[in-house]
Structure 1
Amino acid sequence: MLLQNGNVVATQPPKYLLIFDFDETIINENSDDSVLWALPGKQLPESIRQTYREGFYNEYMQRVLKYMGDQGVKMADFKAVYENIPLSPGMSGLFQFLSKQQDHFEIILMSDANMFGIECALKAAGTYSLFRKIFSNPSGFDKRGYFTLGPYHSHNCPRCPANMCKRKILTEYLADRAQEGARFERVFYVGDGANDFCPSLAMKFTDVAFPRKGYPMHQLILEMEKSQPGKYQAAVVPWDSAVEVCSYLQEILKKKC
């Protein structure tokens, strides 16, 4: 308790911002690959695959989804796939821990997947309500019943795909929350991909990056630490299982008690 203007006011517990990626972080697969199981032949023709261009994956997935619509894949088929993608090792336990610690953690999700798929997967896992905000590409179903996908935003970051820079999302979110009076003591980031490396560069030395071991985010951090010692500011805690993330966060809370 503390005194403010002569009145006793309850002190708020420390607030940490915890950020998750989705594909191959919360779930143990790339959901864009997983949806192909809904196709009658379970694979794309080579003519579609060859249209992919580096940095323009969102546009490529728009073509993939149109092809799937042409093949008769409907909303229920996509929903069934998303609801059955397994969580990554230890992730269920981490979410159980976080559900009991919502006074300490503000949780958001940033993903280059799509809103429909993420919502389906999180609701099936019973974890949707943990997230204050989800940032992902807009998606839905048109009058034909085709699954449609759009870009999240535009930006000028040379590191990131044309449709999404997670660093831009993170910096804008922190600025917005600061205006609203939120103060985060530390920022934690759990990810795996190259597009998770970019936002982690905006983190401070008090923050913690949790890259999945051996995945692109982890490799890029190691490369920067080797080529430019001291440039990467955040502490780095690699993980094979989210049990390791959970243990680290539990220790943080113990130290504050």
Structure 2
Amino acid sequence: MAAVVVVFDFDKTIIDCDSDNWVIDEMGATQLFDQLLPTMPWNPLMDRMMSEFHSQGKTIEDIADCLRRAPLHPNIITAIKSAHALGCDLRIVSDANSFFIDTILKHHGLMDCFTEINTNPSYVDDEGKLRIFPFHDFTSSPHSPCPPNMCKGLVIERIRESVSAEGKKRFVYLGDGKGDFCPALRLGEGEYVMPRKNFPLWELIHNNPLLVKAEVHEWSDGEELERILLQLINTILVEENNSLISVDCNFHTIPISTHEPLPKALPVHH
């Protein structure tokens, strides 16, 4: 089984925008959204906005077309496909929603790369209206900076528990927002967190360095994300390979020339 579990946030990590804001802006509803935002939490507000779109005669296909135009850096596509090809267990933990994420991943041919997508549930009802619901009930994640509808730290703990029977796993977590700080704190030594530079997660880590046990590797764009992520995966795979050699040889040192060569460093796209 895969020794590496790579967990991605979605908004401003896989795609280069916030999917909620992208849809609201592209569908011409920014003013109404801004008027309603002070009156209700974000997650129920998105459900309300989908009802507004429906009442205006906008269809689920209109929303899907909008999502297919969301910006996604080509290097992130190749990074995801490369990590999947190397046998990594790829997962998403996102405060977007399942319809938005599934539509974008399918459009770019990435859906099959992911073992699991953890996000706010959504479905199209009998009237053709998109409904969006919270991932957690509003009493499950009362702590800051997690939003009330989703504590990503709890999700990471659940993922870690679910894969523990398969043997040792090392996590790489990529994200940008305040909600990504809680899962970053759940990572241990020998694991990695990749915050997007100058975004809220990066600022929280830099302001609280002693709280983070994982090794921190910042990134700014899709090209850096691909290069750094594949380097980290390669590092873990080489270390795991060396560990297996040591166990097989009863911890005696044997010249490398008598064994299969270690994996070469992965090619890096520039």
Q: Conserved in 2, the CA contact under 8 Å of 1:89 and 1:240? A: no
Counterpart selection for 1:82 from 45, 67, 72? 67
Alpha-carbon distance between aligned partners in 1 of 2:98 and 2:194, rounded to the nearest angstrom: 23
Alpha-carbon distance between aligned partners in 2 of 1:213 and 1:89, rounded to the nearest angstrom: 19
Residues 45 and 241 of structure 1: CA distance in aligned 2, closer, same or farther (over 3 Å): closer
Q: Conserved in 2, the CA contact under 8 Å of 1:139 and 1:149? A: yes
Structure 2 counterpart SS, 1:112: strand
TM-score normalized by structure 1? 0.84
User: What is the CA-CA distance between 1:241 and the residue it aligns to?
Assistant: 2.2
Contiguous gaps of at least 5 residues in structure 1: 1-11
Residues 90 and 134 of structure 1: CA distance in aligned 2, closer, same or farther (over 3 Å): same
Q: Conserved in 2, the CA contact under 8 Å of 1:56 and 1:161? A: no
**For this pair of structures, how many residues does the alignment match?**
234
User: What is the CA-CA distance between 1:76 and the residue it aligns to?
Assistant: 0.5
The aligned residue for residue 128 of structure 2 is 145
Counterpart selection for 1:193 from 177, 180, 205? 177
Structure 1 counterpart SS, 2:193: strand
Q: Conserved in 1, the CA contact under 8 Å of 2:141 and 2:149? A: no
Q: For the aligned residues, what is the CA RMSD?
A: 2.0
Residues 138 and 185 of structure 1: CA distance in aligned 2, closer, same or farther (over 3 Å): closer
Residues 53 and 110 of structure 1: CA distance in aligned 2, closer, same or farther (over 3 Å): farther
Q: Conserved in 2, the CA contact under 8 Å of 1:114 and 1:138? A: yes
Kindly provide the amino acid, as one letter, of the partner of residue 205 in structure 1.
Answer: E
The aligned residue for residue 30 of structure 1 is 18
User: What is the CA-CA distance between 1:49 and the residue it aligns to?
Assistant: 2.2
Kindly provide the amino acid, as one letter, of the partner of residue 221 in structure 1.
Answer: I
Alpha-carbon distance between aligned partners in 2 of 1:157 and 1:183, rounded to the nearest angstrom: 32
Structure 2 counterpart SS, 1:62: helix
1:23-102 equivalences in 2 (<5 Å): 23-37=11-25, 39=27, 42-46=28-32, 48-53=33-38, 56-88=41-73, 90-102=75-87
Counterpart selection for 2:167 from 176, 183, 201? 183
Alpha-carbon distance between aligned partners in 1 of 2:79 and 2:154, rounded to the nearest angstrom: 27
Q: Conserved in 2, the CA contact under 8 Å of 1:193 and 1:216? A: yes
The aligned residue for residue 116 of structure 1 is 99
User: What is the CA-CA distance between 1:33 and the residue it aligns to?
Assistant: 1.2
Residues 207 and 213 of structure 1: CA distance in aligned 2, closer, same or farther (over 3 Å): same
If each structure's helix is expressed as a fraction of its own residues, which one has the higher value?
A: 2
The aligned residue for residue 8 of structure 1 is none
Residues 200 and 174 of structure 1: CA distance in aligned 2, closer, same or farther (over 3 Å): same
Alpha-carbon distance between aligned partners in 2 of 1:182 and 1:199, rounded to the nearest angstrom: 21
Q: Conserved in 1, the CA contact under 8 Å of 2:4 and 2:172? A: yes
User: What is the CA-CA distance between 1:36 and the residue it aligns to?
Assistant: 2.4
The aligned residue for residue 129 of structure 1 is 112
Alpha-carbon distance between aligned partners in 1 of 2:149 and 2:23, rounded to the nearest angstrom: 20
Alpha-carbon distance between aligned partners in 1 of 2:227 and 2:78, rounded to the nearest angstrom: 10
Q: Conserved in 1, the CA contact under 8 Å of 2:92 and 2:116? A: yes
Q: Conserved in 2, the CA contact under 8 Å of 1:152 and 1:164? A: yes
User: What is the CA-CA distance between 1:242 and the residue it aligns to?
Assistant: 3.3
1:211-222 equivalences in 2 (<5 Å): 211-222=195-206
Residues 111 and 250 of structure 1: CA distance in aligned 2, closer, same or farther (over 3 Å): closer
Structure 2 counterpart SS, 1:51: helix
Identity of aligned residues (%): 28
Residues 55 and 22 of structure 1: CA distance in aligned 2, closer, same or farther (over 3 Å): farther
Kindly provide the amino acid, as one letter, of the partner of residue 115 in structure 1.
Answer: S
Deviations 1:130-151 (A, max 9, x none): 1000001111112221111011
The aligned residue for residue 228 of structure 2 is 248
Deviations 1:195-247 (A, max 9, x none): 1111111111211110111111101111112xxxx221111111012333333
Q: Conserved in 1, the CA contact under 8 Å of 2:79 and 2:229? A: no
